[in-house]
Amino acid sequence: MARKYKGHAVGIDLGTTYSCVAVWQEQHCRVEIIHNDQGNRTTPSYVAFTANQRFIGDAAKNQAAANPTNTVFDFKRLIGRKYSDPIVKNDILMWPFKVTAGADDKPMIVVTYKDQEKHFSAEEISSMVLTKMREIAEAYLESPVCLNVMMRIINEPTAAAIAYGLDKRSGCAKERNVFIFDLGGGTFDVSLLTIKDKVFKVKATAGNTHLGGEDFDSRLVSYFVKEFERKNKVDISGNARALRRLRTACEKAKRTLSYAVTATIELDAFYNGIDLYSSITRAKFEELNMELFRECVETVDQCLSDAKMDKASVHDVVLVGGSSRIPKVQELLQEYFKGKELCKSINPDEAVAYGAAVKAALLNGGTKSTAPDLVLQDVTPLSLGVGTKRDVMTVVIPRNTTIPLRKSKTFETAYDNQSSVDMKIYEGERARASDNNLLGKFTLSGISPAPKGHPILTCFELDADGILCVTAEEKSTGNKNQITIKLDEGRLSEEEKERLIVEAERYKVEDEMFMKKAKAIRALDDYVYDMKKTLNGSELCPEDKKELNSAIDKARTLLDDGNKEKKKIDVFVEHLKDAKLIFEPIKAKIG
Ligand code: AMP
C-alpha cells in the first residue's frame, strides 16, 4: 500500500502476521524502513482488547498468552470470505478468539472490550493496524498525514519486484525474467515478471491466500498437542490459553529450525501444573509440512505454465516473505529451477513495504521527485467479459493479460429487429456469467431494425490505474453507449479474486457441461431460425410446409420451456437431429 504524505512517500505492507512501513527519502534518494516504538522494523498484525484499553502491534502480541480470547491476529485471512466457508471454519478451530456469523454470513470477530461484547469485521481490525502503521510513520517523519491523502494498493509481488529492480537495475539492458516467490505468514503469492530498462511487466500470477507460516505453526501445534496427550493423557485442544502459549513457542521453534537442526520447547506449568518440555528436529518439521511445501512448488509450476514460459528461461528467482527463509522450501525451489541460485538480497520481511514506498514516491509525481523512473505494467487478475445470451460469459480480456490495453469484440443481436442490447460486464473465470462478479451494466438502445446477427462492436479499454471503459457501438449508424468502472474501488479484494479463480477450477466440470448445453441450445435455436426463414421466404409444397411447421413447433416448444435448463444436453442434440432429418432434404430440393 502506498500513501502520499506531505513531501514524503510512505509504503505500508499490511501483512497477515507482520506489517512493515517504509519511507522514500527524497534527499538521500533511497528507501528507509521505519522502526516502531519498540525499535522493531516489523510490527505484529495483532490487536488486543482489555477492560481498559486497546493494544496494537507488539503490545498486543506480548499480552496474547494472558488474554487469548481478546487478542486478534490472522484476521486478514477472513477478508472476502463467508462464515460458512469451510476454510474459515477450519481457521476458527485453530484460533483462541471467537468468530460468529454476522449479516450476509459475514464472519465477525467477537471480543470483550471495556467489559462489553463487541463485534468487528476483519476489515475494521485491519484498519486499526493500518492506523498504527501510519502513526509509526508520523512519529518518524514528525509530520501529520495531509488531509488530501492519496492511497493506492499495489500487489505485493509487484512491490517486491520494484524493490528488486532498484537493487539490480543498473546495467539491466536486456529483458530479464524474474520470478517472485512470496511465502509470508498467511498467504502465498508467486509472480512472473519481465523487467526491461524501466518497464516491469507482470506476465502471470498465482498463489494461495491460505498458505503460509501460520499453517506450518499449526502443524507443529497439532504435533505437540498429540505428544502431550500421549505422554500425560490430557487433551489440551480446548484450552485457549495453553494453545496460545504453545503456538507462540512453535513459531519460535520454527524460526530456530531455519538455522539449527533441532529446537526445544519449554513451557512451565503448561497445563494443570504439568510442564511441556520437548524438542523437535528439522527433519520432523519438514516431514510434518512436506505436503504444504510441495504445494508451493506446484503453484510455481502453474504460474510458469500460465505464462507459457519454460523454467530455464527464468533469470532470477527472488525470495520474499518470512517463510521463504525455511531451508526445505529454498531447497525444493532451487531443485525445481535446476540448481539456480536464489536471490535473497532483499530482506524478505521488508521487500513489500520497500517497493510500496518507491511506488508512493512515483505517485507523488511532481517534477522534483528523484524517485527512480520506473514504469509498471500489471496484469488483469481475472478475465473480463460480457454476459451474452443464455447467461454465457463471453471473455473479452482473458486473465493475466498485461495492462494497459484496448480490446474489441463484435457481438451480434440475438433476434430479428432487436432494438436494444443489455451489456452486463463481469469479471471471473466461470462459464455462467451470473456466477461471476457483475461489475456494471448499461443498455445500448435505438438499434436500427435488422435481422438477428446484426453486429454490435464492443470495446474494452483498461488503463494502468485499473479504470475500465466499455463501449458498445452499432457500427452502421455510429449509435453508441458506454460505462466506466473503477476496478479497484469497491470491487473485489485480492482474496475474493483468488476465491473466484479457485472456484472456477473447482467447478470446471460443471462449467464445461453448462457451456456444452448452451452450445447445444444455441445450435437448435439457430437451426429453427433458418427453418423459419425458409418457410417464410421460399416456395414450398404444402407437404413440406406442414412438415417444416411441425418441426419448428416441436423445437420451439422445447426452447421456450421455462424448465429447459434442467433438461439434459442430449434432449437438445436429439431435437436438432430430428429437425435436420426433416429440413435437410427440403433444403436440397429448393437448392
Ligand atoms: P511475513 O508475512 O512475510 O512477515 O512472514 C511472516 C512469517 O514468516 C511468519 O509466519 C513467521 O513465523 C515466518 N518467519 C519469519 N522468519 C522466519 C524464519 N527464520 N524461518 C521460518 N519462518 C520464518
pLDDT tens digits, one per residue of 62-87: 999 899 999 999 998 888 788 998 88
CATH class of 384-506: mainly beta
CB of residue 282 inside a 6 A radius of ligand 1: no
Query: For residue 321, how far is its CA from the centre of ligand 1 (angstroms)?
Result: 7
Please give the CATH number for the structural domain made up of 508-590: 1.20.1270
Q: What are the distances in angstroms from CA 34 to CA 10, 42, 345? A: 10, 8, 19
Between CA 118 and CA 97 the distance in angstroms is 12
Residue 591 has pLDDT above 90, yes or no: no
pLDDT higher than 70, residue 375: no
Ligand 1 atom at shortest distance from the alpha carbon of 186: 2
Given this model, what pLDDT does residue 2 score? 46
Sign of the C-alpha dihedral computed for residues 262, 267, 271 and 277 taken in this order: positive
Q: Quick check: is 13 catalytic?
A: yes
Q: Which amino acid is at 158?
A: T
Ligand 1 centre to CA of 492 (Å) is 27
64-73, 196-205, 487-496: lowest mean pLDDT where? 487-496
Task: Judge whether residue 429 has pLDDT over 50.
Answer: yes
> Which pLDDT does position 496 carry in this prediction?
67
Place of cell 514506498: 357
| Residue 197 among the catalytic residues | no
Poorest-confidence range of 206-215, 376-385, 429-438, 574-583?
A: 376-385
- How much is the pLDDT for 463? 83
Looking at domain 213-288, its CATH architecture is Alpha-Beta Complex (3.90)
pLDDT at 224: 97
Phi, psi values for residue 418, rounded to 5°:
-70, 125
pLDDT at residue 492, rounded to an integer: 58
Q: What is the pLDDT of residue 368?
A: 47
428 lines ligand 1 (CB under 6 A): no
Which helix (H) or strand (E) segment holds residue 18: the answer is strand 18-25
- CA of 590 relative to ligand 1 center, distance in Å: 76
- Identified catalytic residue from 4, 13, 350, 427: 13
| Fold agreement between 384-506 and 508-590 | no
Q: Is the CB of 255 under 6 A from ligand 1?
A: yes
Take atom 16 of ligand 1 and give the residue whose Cα is closest. 322
Task: Please report which residue ranges of 18-113 form alpha helices under DSSP H.
Answer: 58-62, 86-94
- Is the CB of residue 20 less than 8 Å from the CB of residue 45? no
Q: How large is the average pLDDT for residues 296-306?
A: 92
Ligand 1 atom, smallest distance to 257 CA: 20
Q: Residue 200 has what pLDDT?
A: 73
77 CB within 6 A, ligand 1: no
Q: For residue 59, report the phi and psi dihedrals to the nearest 5 degrees.
A: -60, -35
Q: What residue's CA is closest to ligand 1, atom 20?
A: 255
Q: Probe ligand 1: pick from 252, 323, 330, max atoms within 8 Å of CB?
A: 323
CA dihedral 256, 260, 266, 271 (to 10 degrees): 70
Instruction: Report the 3 state secondary structure along 133-188.
Output: HHHHHHHHHCCCCCCCCCEECCCHHHHHHHHHHHHHCCCCCCCEEEEEEEECCCCE
- pLDDT score recorded for residue 506: 66
Q: Is the pLDDT of residue 315 over 70?
A: yes
The arithmetic mean of pLDDT across residues 433-453, rounded, is 90
Q: Which CATH architecture is the domain 2-152 placed in? A: 2-Layer Sandwich (3.30)
533 catalytic, yes or no?
no
Question: Is the pLDDT confidence value at 173 over 70?
Answer: no
State in Å: Cα 61 to ligand 1 middle: 15
| Ligand 1 atom nearest to 16, measured from its CA | 2
Evaluate: CB of 61 within 6 angstroms of ligand 1. no
pTM: 0.60
pLDDT at 536: 85
**Which residue's alpha carbon is at the smallest distance from atom 4 of ligand 1?**
18
Which of 24-33, 358-367, 441-450, 491-500 is most confident? 441-450
pLDDT at 294: 95
17 lines ligand 1 (CB under 6 A): yes
Q: pLDDT class for 149, splitting at 50, 70, 90?
A: very low
Q: What are phi and psi of 551, to 5 degrees?
A: -65, -40
Q: In the predicted model, what is the mean pLDDT of the chain?
A: 85
Residues 397 and 385 sit within 8 Å (Cβ to Cβ): yes
Per domain, the residue ranges of the chain are: 2-152, 213-288, 384-506, 508-590
218 CB within 6 A, ligand 1: no
322-373 per-position pLDDT tens digit: 999 999 999 999 999 999 988 877 778 888 888 888 877 777 664 344 555 5
